[in-house]
């Protein structure tokens, strides 16, 4: 089975880029299942129901989230209704939606979990380990393989989560920093890992945003409105080749389109 994971969508332009290209890439790369982190699709603050629907029609099977997911109240209803939309599992019990889902891909049941770190990231949630562990135990026997989006700032925290569940989760990929990392590896127990997928949106700025606004905010510490960069859009992702019978990654590779 080939699973494609795509980094944080940073703007409506990123949504449009996937609408134009994702199904083509899925055909060319023989992708069986695709996960897209959509937490910035509306431009920094989460996504609207319309953008979520567009991403699913564009070729995403599951939309994962992160620290901005709950900032768009307009999305609360669709988070409750659509099992393909995830927010971090370690948000409080009053948060709408779910932190994991199980989707059928042919004869294979794929469990997708979304979790958030708690180092140098806001809001500060409880550590994700126990939440992930409980979800795996709760769904034992109901899935054939599991994959995890760990939305976190600290690479060490992402690696710790991957090692904690090495052999239990087939693939662990980091999101949030919008910067693709080169540390693709398969851990001893068979878990495929990368610290950050990167992003999907306009290139040429700072993490998908226009450079001038970001520099102004960091230099003068005054609030400023971020707008998407003006460069050509691109999508960063990683393809995980997974042996579904063993629920282990056998190969992984970067893709940019």
Report the chain's terminal Cα–Cα distance, integer Å: 21
Q: Would residue 68 show up in a list of annotated catalytic residues for this protein?
A: yes
Tokens encoding 146 = 């599991």
Mean pLDDT, residues 165-170: 98
* Domains along the sequence of the chain with CATH: 2-256 (3.60.21.10)
Percent of the chain whose pLDDT exceeds 70: 100
Identify the active-site residue in 17, 68, 151, 176. Answer: 68
| Per-residue pLDDT at 74 | 84
Which string of b and e fits 4-27 if b means at least 16 CB within 10 Å? Answer: bbbbbbbbbbbbebbeebbeebbe
Tens-digit pLDDT profile for residues 75-87: 899 999 999 999 9
Predicted model pTM: 0.95
The reported pLDDT for the residue numbered 82 is 97
The model's pLDDT over 217-246, given as tens digits with 9 standing for 90+, comes to 899 998 777 888 899 999 999 999 999 999
């Amino acid at each position: 089975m080939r699973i494609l994971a795509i980094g944080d969508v940073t703007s409506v332009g990123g949504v449009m880029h996937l609408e134009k290209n994702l199904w083509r890439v899925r055909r060319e790369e023989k992708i069986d299942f695709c996960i897209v982190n959509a937490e910035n699709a509306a431009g920094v603050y989460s996504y609207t129901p319309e953008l979520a629907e567009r991403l699913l029609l564009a070729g995403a099977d599951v939309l994962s989230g992160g620290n901005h997911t709950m900032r768009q109240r307009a999305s609360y209803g669709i988070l409750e209704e659509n099992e393909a939309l995830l927010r971090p599992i370690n948000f409080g019990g009053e948060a709408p939606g779910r932190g994991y889902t199980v989707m059928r891909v042919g004869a294979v049941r794929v469990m997708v979990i979304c979790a958030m770190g708690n180092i140098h990231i806001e809001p500060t949630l409880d550590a994700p380990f126990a939440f992930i562990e409980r979800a795996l135990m709760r769904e034992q026997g109901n899935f054939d393989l599991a994959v995890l989006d760990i939305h976190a700032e600290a690479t060490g925290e992402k690696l710790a989560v991957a090692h904690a569940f090495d052999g239990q989760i087939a693939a662990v990929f980091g999101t949030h920093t919008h910067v693709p990392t080169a540390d693709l590896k398969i851990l001893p127990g068979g878990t495929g890992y990368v610290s950050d997928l990167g992003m999907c949106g306009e290139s040429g700025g700072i993490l998908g945003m226009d450079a001038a606004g970001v520099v102004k905010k960091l230099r003068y510490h005054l609030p400023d409105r971020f707008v998407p960069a003006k460069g050509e859009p691109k999508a960063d992702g990683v393809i995980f080749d997974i042996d579904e019978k063993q629920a282990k990654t056998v190969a992984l590779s970067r893709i940019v389109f």
